[in-house]
């Protein structure tokens, strides 16, 4: 793999389902709903995982962690991100910084953002000042605004070790 620095983009969305808590950014956020999915539904971890894979042109999260594989049922998504970070280190890359935007109507994420940044920074192998998580409301529009889903966009920059 070539390039002194490589950028990747990730996107993920999950439907809400009855009963909390909601796992986002590796943090259990108190809520009346959780994120439906084969794993714990952590859309921030999934978007970041796709961004790291994208930077390496290594496909996507579904290729590496198929949702038909019982190993990933109810998986801690930070563990999936950690596996992809191991792959990045094998390829000779480390994270420079990561930035994620979460579109969610409720619950309010701001009180949990600092803890999310800390959890994600540990897995990405960087300082907390290199991981950004920004939460925006859906402004009443679409599935996000109708409190039916969350969507996340993320970018990650890798550099050669």
| Between 62 and 140, CB nearer to Zn ion | 62
| Between 12 and 105, CB nearer to Zn ion | 12
Nearest CA to 143 among 13, 9, 11, 10? Answer: 13
Measured distance CA(95)–CA(57) in Å, rounded? 15
DSSP line for 104-129: -SSS--GGGHHHHHHHHHHHHTS-GG
Binds Zn ion (CB under 5 A): choice among 6, 34, 46, 112: 46
Measured distance CA(6)–CA(3) in Å, rounded? 6
12 binds Zn ion (CB under 5 A): yes
Measured distance CA(53)–CA(37) in Å, rounded? 20
Structure tokens at 93: 């890359």
* Residue of closest CB approach to Zn ion: 46
Sole window of 17-25, 45-53, 137-145, 152-160 interacting with Zn ion (rule: CB under 5 A): 45-53
**Cβ at position 155, least distance to Zn ion in Å:** 17
Sole window of 44-52, 67-75, 107-115, 118-126 interacting with Zn ion (rule: CB under 5 A): 44-52
Sole window of 12-20, 102-110, 138-146, 150-158 interacting with Zn ion (rule: CB under 5 A): 12-20
Residues of the shown chain interacting with Zn ion in the complex, contacts defined by CB under 5 A: 12, 46
């Amino acid at each position: 793999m070539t390039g002194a620095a490589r950028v990747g983009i990730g996107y993920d969305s999950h439907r809400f389902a009855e009963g909390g808590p909601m796992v986002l950014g590796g943090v259990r956020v108190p809520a009346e709903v959780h994120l439906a999915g084969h794993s714990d539904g952590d859309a921030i971890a999934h978007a970041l995982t796709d961004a790291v894979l994208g930077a390496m042109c290594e496909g996507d999260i579904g290729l590496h962690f198929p949702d038909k594989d019982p190993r990933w049922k109810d998986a801690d998504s930070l563990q999936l991100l950690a596996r992809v970070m191991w792959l990045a280190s094998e390829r000779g890359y480390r994270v420079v910084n990561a930035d994620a935007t979460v579109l969610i109507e409720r619950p309010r994420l701001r009180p949990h953002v600092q803890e999310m940044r800390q959890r994600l920074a540990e897995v990405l192998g960087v300082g907390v000042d290199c991981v950004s998580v920004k939460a925006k409301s859906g402004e009443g529009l679409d599935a996000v605004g109708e409190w039916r889903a969350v969507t996340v966009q993320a970018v990650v920059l890798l550099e050669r070790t």
